[in-house]
Amino acid sequence: MDNNLQNSGTQSDANPQQARTQSTPIADELMDLARRRVALRDKTAPLPSSPRVIAVSNQKGGVGKTTTTVNLAAALADLGAKVVVIDLDPQGNASTALGIEHNATVQGTYEMLHGASTMGSVLRQSQQHPNLWCSPATINLAGAEIELVPSQQREQRLKRAIDEYIAQATQRPDYIFIDCPPSLGLLTINALVAAGEVLVPIQAEYYALEGVTMLWDNVGMVAQYLNPAIHISTILLTMVDSRTNLSREVENEVRTHFPDTVLTTVIPRSVRVSEAPSHQLTVIGYDNNSSGALAYREAAIEMAEKFAQRDASAQ
């Protein structure tokens, strides 16, 4: 959609009054964006009563795990929450998108897993979002999957580091997001053991549910043997193009299968979202009022409100 706006020579913050007088699909979209921007202006998000550790996982590649991690984290941080992102993918894409250096000499998630550094010592503050800290992933992390195999309590490494950090942190985090790699190996198992819940981004495309069944089984297995608390709390539909039948069909299918877990908010396919990482920015930092940024800001608030309702009903 951002493409259309650019092609028409219209910016995302074009005059809504002008748009109202021309009823075209683009004018309607501009009106919708303007309305949502205003609605978000004074919105706040409830803070969780204890730190929420969320593994963002789907073994399918390229479905929007990293984009979702950094943008939900950024949106919540901008709303006043203290947020940590643990980059658990050797590709280091979350570190890049947050503008955090992650060359091989940087201490990060790898050192944390090996117990060579504490989590507090490897966290780097985002320049763009001061309430957000990131544990960078360096290329060294690619070896961790194999190196950890013979070590004791290999599935508990991340959990130990996070628990120790939460217990000792002077500023207790509200959210810790773990950006998982696109596989169900030892790194992802560490995330599922450390987290209290899983957020699954699902790309609105053919075979969208293919990967999710295996993830579901793995979460069930981890719950049975290693971490009884773990469950899939949230599904977020990503790269939705509501103009296509396929996108609508996938959305309907996912909502039918998982009615209580899927967020109402969906993330549209948006050029701004895909451009942001090359500027080492989240889309929230790159173009805060673009359709993708608005959607991530709305999703973050929806998620925080859902969490707060569950917190309240559990007490």
Ligand X SMILES: Nc1ncnc2c1ncn2[C@@H]1O[C@H](COP(=O)(O)OP(=O)(O)OP(=O)(O)O)[C@@H](O)[C@H]1O
DSSP 220-256: HHHHHHT-TT--EEEEEEESB-TTSHHHHHHHHHHHH
3-class DSSP state for residue 165? helix
Residue nearest to Mg ion (CB): 66
Q: Interface with ligand X includes 182 (CB under 6 A)?
A: yes
Which of the choices Mg ion, ligand X, none does residue 95 contact, using the CB cut-off of 5 to 8 A by kind? none
d(CA 43, CA 305): 11
49's tokens: 């009563």
Q: Interface with ligand X includes 57 (CB under 6 A)?
A: no
Backbone φ and ψ for 118, nearest 5 degrees, come out as -85, 160
Q: Are 94 and 69 in contact (CB under 8 A)?
A: yes
Q: Interface with ligand X includes 33 (CB under 6 A)?
A: no
Count of CB atoms within 10 A of residue 68's CB?
23
Contact track, ligand X, 89-118, x by CB under 6 A: x---x-------------------------
Contacting residue, 1, 27, 53, 63, with ligand X by CB under 6 A: 63
Give the nearest distance from C-beta 106 to ligand X in angstroms: 19
Question: What residue type is assigned to position 129 of the chain?
Answer: H
- Cβ closer to ligand X: 101 or 241? 241
- Cβ closer to ligand X: 108 or 292? 292
Q: Interface with ligand X includes 173 (CB under 6 A)?
A: no
Question: Interface residues for Mg ion in 26-65 (CB under 5 A)?
Answer: 65
Count of CB atoms within 10 A of residue 23's CB?
9
Contacting residue, 12, 57, 66, 227, with ligand X by CB under 6 A: 66
Place of tokens 């560490």: 190
d(CA 284, CA 268): 14
Nearest to 299 by CA among 54, 3, 99: 54
Q: Interface with Mg ion includes 66 (CB under 5 A)?
A: yes
Q: Interface with ligand X includes 270 (CB under 6 A)?
A: yes
Contacting residue, 205, 292, 297, 303, with ligand X by CB under 6 A: 292
How many residues are given for the chain?
315
Question: Interface residues for ligand X in 190-249 (CB under 6 A)?
Answer: 238-239
Nearest to 60 by CA among 155, 145, 142, 180: 180
Q: Interface with ligand X includes 84 (CB under 6 A)?
A: no
Q: Interface with Mg ion includes 247 (CB under 5 A)?
A: no
Residue 206: burial class (beta carbons within 10 Å; 0-12, 13-18, 19+): exposed
Q: Interface with ligand X includes 277 (CB under 6 A)?
A: yes
d(CA 286, CA 27): 23
- Cβ closer to ligand X: 182 or 185? 182
- Cβ closer to Mg ion: 188 or 233? 188
Which residues in this chain contact ligand X in the complex, by CB under 6 A? 61-67, 89, 93, 182, 238-239, 267, 269-270, 273-274, 277, 292
Which residues in this chain contact Mg ion in the complex, by CB under 5 A? 65-66, 93
